[in-house]
Structure formats: C-alpha cells, structure tokens
Structure 1
Amino acid sequence: MTRTRLEDLDLNLIVTLHWLLTEQSVTRAAARLDVSQPTVSHALGRLRDLLGDPLLIKSGRTMLATKRAEGLQPRVAEIVDKMRDLLLEEEKFEPSQQKGKFRIAAIDSVGAVVVRAWQKVVQPDAPFLELDILQPAVPQAQDLIAGKIDAIMLPEPKMLQLPPGVNIDEFVRRPLFEERYATAVRRGHRLENGIDTEGYIAAEHILINPEGLDVGVADLALKNAGLSRRIAFRTETFLLAREIMMNSDCILTGPASLFDPRADDYRVVDCPVKLPSFTMFIGWHPNWTHDPQHRWVRERLMSEIAYMAEHR
C-alpha cells in the first residue's frame, strides 16, 4: 500500500472533511464552505479514495456516517481548530482601525441592553465599528445560518419562535445572564411605592405578546392561585409596552432587562406574583469563534452584559 505524504495532501480536504462529518450532508457542507455542491461531491470522492472508506452512506434522503467516519470526526474537528488558532494567533488586531458592521439578532428589550453595553465597552475603543440590531425573524434566517449575522441572543429553554429552518443547536452557545421578571409603573403612579396582590389584580395591565398569545407568564401564575388580572393593552414589542406604561396608569410586568436602572420617568417595584426566571444565552456561527474582531467584541459585550445584569 502506497502511503500519501503530507506534502502531497491538499489541506483544503481536511476542512471539507470536517464539515462533511459535522453536517453529514454534501449540501449543508457546501453551504458552510461557501462552494458549490459538485465541488464538495468531488472532494468527498477524493477523500474516499484517500482514506479507503465511503465515510458517508446514503440512507433514504439522508446520509449516515460510517464507523470509521464517526471515529475520525472529533479528531478532525480538533485539527481544524488548531489550524485556525495557528493562522490567527499572529494576526494583529487594532480595535481603533476596525470598520464595518457587527450584526446581532435580539428581541428589542435585549437589544436595548446590547446598545448600552456597546456604548460603554466597544464604541470608545472601536468608534468606526457599526452595530446592527435585527429582530430574530424569518427574513434573517438565511443570514443567520450562513454566518452573516454575528450573534443571536435568546432564552433557554426556547421561549422564542425562531425562524423556520434555523436550528439553534448548530451554533456555539454561552450563557449570558439569569433573567428575572420585574414590574414597573410610571413615576407618580399611586402604586410606585409598592404593590400587593390586591393592588396588582385591581390595576390595568399591559401584556407583551411577541408570539401572539392571549396570556403571559403572570397570567399563568395567577391562574394557578385562582386569580386573574385585567389586560388593557397588548403589544408584540417590549419597548412599545414600556412607552404605554410611562404614559398610562397601567402596570407592566416583563423581563428585568427591559427596564433601564438609570431611568427617572418610571419605577421598578417588586411583583407580588412569584414568577420563574430563565437564562439568556448568546449564540454564534462556529466559523466566528476564532475571528479576532468577533472574539474581541463578543467577549467585551458578554462581560459587560453579565455585569449589568448582576448590578441592576
């Protein structure tokens, strides 16, 4: 058997093999590599000849990895990661010279938190870098899959309806902060010094319903106690709900990140109804993990957002 010398090997095949074993699909691997499907099919043929194994076998409409391929997958992934580190470790990164856009998909309340963090820890050192906040909606699905959106912020377990075709399990995920619910009223409201259960039920409320639901977390908790509240307004956006609260006698219960601790036109009070908290995560396409600009921005944002959540 003739051995293949490393010097004779096309190292692009290693990266192609990585995505083929990761995706177990020629089509999806081609999308990851940003090349045509025939190109990946040709590379798969070369890899089969080189390794003496079919690697991926068709089973109906899917492809299944062979035993050899399953054994190769973690080792190849490690090699690709080390190759990325080697190529990027000497790359100089100057934040003050960075231009372009950093795109984050997030619901508007979390987007507001991102903006505050960006202004504090990114913008001063990278003044020419632009921030784009996008709603995690259907039109952005392909950009998210293709890695054209830099990060997505969402709760876990999945409390948002993600766009069709977007599988969040394909992304790198890290916890950002523990989100709790809070209740707020405008300054001058008769309940600004505190709300008991009786006052909470008697008041009019604003329901934030991004998924179009008729009830929210507070309604479910009240129902379990044999109680209910009166909804005066419903809106799909968090920031509009906050605007309504500041210009009415309605109470707003929502994620604590919706409320700016620096605001002087409304006051956050303890909700008399016990509501469950949830973890907010940040996710990004694996291709961004070792990118110097992405790493610099995301690490600063993650640290500052976690700090803000802890000290609000």
Structure 2
Amino acid sequence: MLKTFDMNLLLVFNTLMEERSVTRTGERLGRTQSAISNSLKRLREALGDPLFVREASGLMPTPRAEALAPEVEQIVRQTERCLRQDTEIDLATNDAHFVIGAPDRLSLPVFLPFMRYVHAIAPHMRLDLRTSDRDISIRLLASGEIDLALGWFDDLPPSMLRSIAFSEALVCLCRKGHPILRSKGAVDFQSLLAYPHLVVRSGGGRHAAFDAILSRIGHARRVQTALTNFTLVPHLLRDSDQVGVFTKRTADYFAANYDLAVMPIPLEIAPISHEIVWHRRFTNDPAHRWLREQIQKACTAES
C-alpha cells in the first residue's frame, strides 16, 4: 500500500483532527478548500472509512479516525524533526565524541587551553587528540578515524574542506646562555648550522620542514637527536648545546615554561600556515561546526 499511498495525506488528516474544519485546515496548509476536500476523499478511499462526519459543531472523527490519530500525529512530528535543521546545540548536555588529528607541536600551546575551555562549558563532550601530520591526517579523515585535523597541508582531495587557522614563523629554540645567543638580532646562519640540531617529527625520520628549506638553498644541518614528540625537547635543549628550529608558538611555549630562549632565524621564510581541515559531509553538523569555531577562536587567541 505504501507504494501508492500519498504520505502528504497524513498531514491533511492530522490537521483535520486538530481543526475539525476543511476551511481552517486549508488555511493552515496553504491549500484551497476544494484541495482539502479532495484529499479527504482520497483518505476515505484508501482507509475504507468515512473518517469524519459533518455536524453543526464541525467535523467529528469516526472511531477509526480516533484510533489512527495518535499514530499519525507521531509520524508527522517525527517527519518534522527529520526535516528540521538544528542550528544550536545544548552545551550542558551534548555528549558528542570527536577525534582531532594534529601535529604534536600544537598539543601544549593550542590544545591544552582549548580542551580546558571545551570541558568547562561542555562537560559531557568527549575529545580525543591524535598525533598526526599532513598525509596521515588526510588518510585518517578519509577513513573516518578522525573528525577534523589541524596543521599544515598541501593539496587536499575534493572530499575535504579547509579554513585558515593561523600562520607563524620558524624560530630557533635553545638554552639560555647558549653561545649562539651572542649574536644580536637574528641568529647567524653559519652558527645555526654549526651546532647540532634536535628534530621532532611525529611520523618518524630525521628530517622536517626546515630541512626541505635548507636543501633548496644548498645547505644541510647536522641532526643529533630525532624525536617523534616534544616531551623531551625542553630537557634535552636545556642540558646541551643542541638547538631546535620550530614554529614560533611551540618555541614560545617552551621558552616561557622551561627557561629557554627564542631567536629569529636568518632566512626569508614565508610563515607556515595552519589550517583546519574536515570532511565535507560534516560541514553542516551543528556540533562539528561549533567545535571548528572553538578551535578557530583558540588559534586566534594564541597567535
């Protein structure tokens, strides 16, 4: 029967039950009186019952109509909920679960304050932070293992969307009292390459973005230590003559919290742009959109 039944007739039936008038039903639904009468006729034929009889006070439902009314009303209300696009979320009760992919360098300067803020105003929302860089993040987004990513990206597949979060320069991070700090202004380029370097790359390996930049101008650095996260960075730099070239936000965080020093590097390098990237199927999801907005605010506040 569903193959031939017009589901719009259920809306007419539900409104007739509420209004008990063909005229008022037509006014509510924006249809003519004759159109409502025709719909009622089709309902009667489909259900094999008069459904409504006319009395002085208006249309009176038959027992069959009275029995159908609660179920039809539920169908109409559920359909309305399905079609309605919710634009607001209840932060006090929302229990959405999000997995965010980002390079480890952003964990402390960006995501530590971000997560504290989200947990304070949305206590039931669950957040997981997964360390991942460019290609890994795109692969995880495509597979659905993460819900959004923050970082530095090149080309994106058509299924992904992006928005600019912030940009920052590369700087030199080292211990206070390091001989390299004798330079005034930017670190001397030859001195920068003369000292052993500490590299952090979440995907492993001993090369990072700065190495690609050096290679383009015919130089290379001596990497003494390679790590996959920043946990040991302040301790290794503070106790040795190693230096690190990191994005400014990360370096500033360690300088402020671990008594290290930051200096500009002597190269004309365009600032590194960080972007928020997500799968386009989540673009209009209210909770996902809210989370993207909060990450954007956190990035702006920290820049």
- TM-score, scaled relative to structure 2: 0.60
**Contact kept? 2:166, 2:275, Cα under 8 Å:** yes
Max Rg structure: 2
Shift of 1:155: 1.3
> Against the structure 1 CA distance between its residues 189 and 284, is the aligned structure 2 distance closer, same or farther, given a 3 Å change threshold?
same
Q: Hey, what's the Cα distance between the residues in 2 that align with 1:84 and 1:144?
A: 29
State the alpha-carbon separation in 2 of the partners of residues 300 and 239 from structure 1: 26
CA distance in 1, matches of 2:230, 2:83: 44
Deviations 1:41-88 (A, max 9, x none): xxxxxxxxxxxxxxxxxxxxxxxxxxxxxxxxxxxxxxxxxx999623
Report the CA distance shift for 1:280/1:92 in structure 2 as closer, same or farther (over 3 A): closer
**CA–CA separation in structure 1 for the residues paired with 2:162 and 2:189:** 38
TM alignment of 1:63-212, pairs within 5 A: 87-89=84-86, 92-119=88-115, 121-136=117-132, 144-145=141-142, 147=144, 149-157=146-154, 168-192=157-181, 194=183, 195-210=187-202
Aligned residues: 224
Shift of 1:267: 1.8
Q: Which residue of 1 aligns with 2:63?
A: none
Give the conservation status (yes or no) of the 8 Å contact 1:88–1:291.
no
- Determine the C-alpha separation between the residues in 2 that align with 1:219 and 1:268: 19
Contact 1:176/1:279 (8 A) holds in 2:
yes
> Do 1:193 and 1:269's aligned partners in 2 also have CA atoms closer than 8 Å?
no
Deviations 1:210-261 (A, max 9, x none): 4555544444544565554332212233444454323322100022232244
Identify if the C-alpha distance between structure 1 residues 133 and 260 changes in structure 2 by more than 3 Å, giving closer, same or farther: farther
Equivalent residue for 2:301?
307
User: Are the structure 2 counterparts of residues 221 and 155 from structure 1 closer, same or farther at C-alpha, using a change threshold of 3 Å?
Assistant: closer
CA 134–128 in structure 1, closer or farther in 2 if over 3 Å, else same = same
**C-alpha distance 275-193 of structure 1, shift in aligned 2 (>3 A):** same
The amino acid across from 2:172 in the alignment is: T
- Tell which deviates more after alignment, 172-181 or 224-233: 224-233
Q: 1:277 aligns with which of 251, 271, 287?
A: 271
Deviations 1:172-193 (A, max 9, x none): 2111112321111123433346
Kindly indicate whether the alpha-carbon contact (under 8 Å) linking 2:100 and 2:147 is maintained by their aligned counterparts in 1: yes
Asked if structure 2 preserves the Cα contact closer than 8 Å seen for 1:95 and 1:125, the reply is: yes
1:259 is aligned to 2:259: no
For structure 2, which runs of at least 5 residues remain unmatched after alignment?
Answer: 9-79
Question: How high is the sequence identity, in percent, across the aligned residues?
Answer: 23
Letter in 1 for 2:126: E
CA RMSD of aligned residues (A): 3.7
Q: TM-score, normalised by structure 1?
A: 0.58
CA distance in 2 between partners of 1:200 and 1:253 (Å): 9
Q: Amino acid of the residue matched to residue 243 of structure 2?
A: I
Query: In structure 1, what is the Cα distance between the partners aligned to 2:243 and 2:99?
Result: 33
Alignment correspondent of 2:239: 247
Per-residue Cα deviation, 1:103-128 (whole angstroms, up to 9, x for no partner): 10111112334423414542321133
Looking at structure 2, the residues matched to 279 and 136 of structure 1 have their Cα atoms a distance apart, in angstroms, of 16
Q: Is contact 2:199–2:244 with CA below 8 Å preserved after alignment?
A: yes
Indicate if the aligned counterparts of 2:197 and 2:225 stay in contact, CA closer than 8 A. Answer: yes
Provide the rounded CA distance (Å) in 2 between the counterparts of 1:139 and 1:221.
Answer: 21
Please give the alpha-carbon distance, in whole angstroms, between the structure 1 residues aligned to 2:289 and 2:217.
46
Note if contact 2:104-2:202 (Cα within 8 Å) is conserved in structure 1.
no
Q: 2: CA distance between counterparts of 1:168 and 1:199?
A: 41
Q: What corresponds to 1:54 in structure 2?
A: none
